[in-house]
Structures are given as C-alpha cells and as structure tokens.
A = this chain, B = another copy of it.
Amino acid sequence: MLTVSTPRAMLLEMAVTARKRPKAQGLRPKAQGPRPKALKVRYHHGDLRRALLEEAVRTIRDDGTAALTLRAVGARLGVSRTALYRHFADKSALLDAVSEDGFRRLGDALERAWADAGGGVPGFEAMGSAYVRFALDNPSHYRVMFGVWNSREHHDPALRAAGTRAFQLLVDALAALQRDGVARRDETPVAVARYVWAVVHGIAMLGIDGRLPDGAGGPGGVRDVTSFAVRRLGSGIFLTEPSLPSAPSAR
C-alpha cells in the first residue's frame, strides 16, 4: 500500500541514468514558444526554480502526494538532491509554491466559469461546478492546497494572495447577485461566500477521498451531489413554504 518500492526504485534508476549526461539541460519539451533568451546553455540550469515547481506539480499529479520527495523531484530533473535548497527554504516552501499555483489555477477556472455562463444564477452554479471539477481533476494538487501544511496563517504572502483572490471571486459573484436582486440581502456577500465555500469544499473533499458512491458519474456520485448542492443552495431543504411545489428549478 504505502510501500511502492518497485516504481520508486525504477524512477530513481531512470534519474541516475539521466544524470550520467554531463549537463544535457535543454531536452525537456517545455516552453515551446519563442526561446526566451538564447539557445546556449546560459547558466547552471537556466530557470531551476520554475522547473522544480513544475516537476513537483507533475509528480504530485502523476504519483500522488506521498511520492513528492525532494530527492525524486531533483532526480527527475537530472539535478542533485539539495539543489532545491537554493530556491526553496525547505520542503514546506516548495509545497507553498505548489499551493499557490493551485489557487491561481482554481481562480482562473472560477473566473472562466462565471464569465462563460454570463454571470447571474447560471454563472454562480457554473462556479460551483467548476470548483468541484477542479478538485476532482487535480485531487492531489487540491489536497496539497488544503493539506496539513501551512494550514495556519503563517504561509507566505503570495500563497495568501492567490487564495484570497479565489475566494474574492466568489464574494464578487454573490455581491453581483445581491445587486441584481436575485439573492437575498439579509447577509453580507462575505458571510454567504464562506458558507458556499464550505459546501463546495466539503463535496470536493468527500469526492476526492472516494467517500461518495461510484466513480463520480452515477447516482449519488460527486456530480450528483454537486448538482444537488448547487440547486439546494438556492432552495433549501425544509418545507418553510408548504405551498412550494417540489421542483422549483427545472432540473
């Protein structure tokens, strides 16, 4: 279960062989756009910090959070372990950078969802779905973002800013809904946003952990609970108005 010695050993073997090359730095198929500076060797590595971050994200995505090892990420880049310490204070700093990257992508996804749906209630529901979809598509990344690391407010300003921006998108959407008279005004947008955030976060976490039935698509699965949630976020559960029919929203 936890001991994946065979693939990890293979991985390290690969890395060792890759390290045999004197310094074949430019073979990585990244940055396909115009060459940033020149095609010469430039420096020790070029932009190791970015490469380390990208490799960490890739490692987490492919092999899970437990496989993220300073030694492994260094080896995958054909660079020695501890090379990372010239760009990150320690492992938690690297994870902070990974989290910041995740919050930035999450914010982009929310922004896109709201804009593509044209705002309003459809935009709000699209944001909720996009949030859960992001978590399901990047489970390990999402787990790092909300992991035990840096859980308190001690993390660096960049990470904090990225997280705040993603949350603010939700606040702004709710403020717009209130302004347009489609959302109740008896609570501040921030208070409602915290609640909505908790809802989608809970669904995302349960979905990621496989605690909702089936593979996300069937009845009771993550998608089902998500659509249920975004509908109920606007209608409630209890019969506060007995005259209310069963399905106020058209499916």
Contacts and interface: CB of A to CB of B under 8 A. Distances in A.
Nearest to A246: B186
B229 A198 contact: yes
A243 B78 CA distance: 67
Interface in A65-93: 65-66, 90-92
Interface string A110-139: 000000000001000000000000000000
B239 A237 contact: no
A153 to B, nearest CB: 6
Contacts of A208: 151
Interface residues of A, number: 62
Nearest to A219: B191
A241 B239 contact: no
A148 B153 CA distance: 22
- Closest 8 A/B residue pairs (Cβ): A202-B202, A236-B236, A234-B238, A198-B202, A186-B246, A201-B202, A151-B209, A198-B203
Contacts of A240: 234-235, 244, 248
9 contacts: A151-B210, A151-B211, A183-B237, A187-B228, A195-B229, A195-B232, A202-B202, A234-B238, A235-B236
A225 interface: yes
A109 interface: no
A52 B9 CA distance: 33
Interface of A: 1-2, 65-66, 90-92, 121, 143, 146, 148, 151-154, 177, 181-187, 190-192, 194-203, 205-206, 208-212, 220, 224-225, 228-229, 232-241, 244, 246-248
A206 to B, nearest CB: 5
A157 B110 CA distance: 39
Contacts of A186: 246-247
Nearest to A207: B198
Given A202-B205, A212-B194, A240-B235, A184 B92 contact: no
A228 B220 CA distance: 25
Contacts of A246: 184-186
A241 B66 CA distance: 49
